[in-house]
Amino acid sequence: MKANRAFRLLVAREGRGPAIFAPRDRLDRVEVVEIDSGESVLFWDLPPREARRLANALREDMALMEAADFLDAWRSAQE
């Protein structure tokens, strides 16, 4: 099963404005949640620009990779 069918990507901004105008101390949350259990399997708090880049990379990999391969690849990247 493809990762985008097994997991949901959630991105939460700490503020309303776009990343380019965000204060330097703002952190956005990027979270990958397992659809079946509703549990968070991957989690990052990052500055807005990095969060946007990470979310784009996660979306791309979720569309291309199988669920187990996706988790293995990104768990090692999380550490």
For residue 20, what pLDDT is reported? 64
Look at residue 56 and tell me if it is in a domain. Answer: yes
- Please give the pLDDT value at position 37: 96
Look at residue 9 and tell me if it is in a domain.
yes
What pLDDT does 78 receive?
73
> What is the model's pLDDT at position 18?
66
Radius of gyration over alpha carbons of the chain, in Å?
13
Q: CA nearest 30: which of 55, 57, 5?
A: 55
Tell me the whole-structure pTM to 2 decimals. 0.86
Residue 50, in any domain of the structure: yes
Question: How high is the pLDDT of residue 77?
Answer: 78
Helix, strand, coil shares, percent, the chain, to 5: 45, 30, 25
* Residue 73 placed within a domain: no
Mean pLDDT by 10 residues, the chain (79 residues): 96 74 82 96 92 96 97 86
Domain assignment of residue 11, given as a range = 3-16+26-66
Residue in 17, 43, 41 with CA at minimum distance from that of residue 30: 43
Question: What is the spatial distance between Cα 35 and Cα 8, in angstroms, rounded to a whole number?
Answer: 6
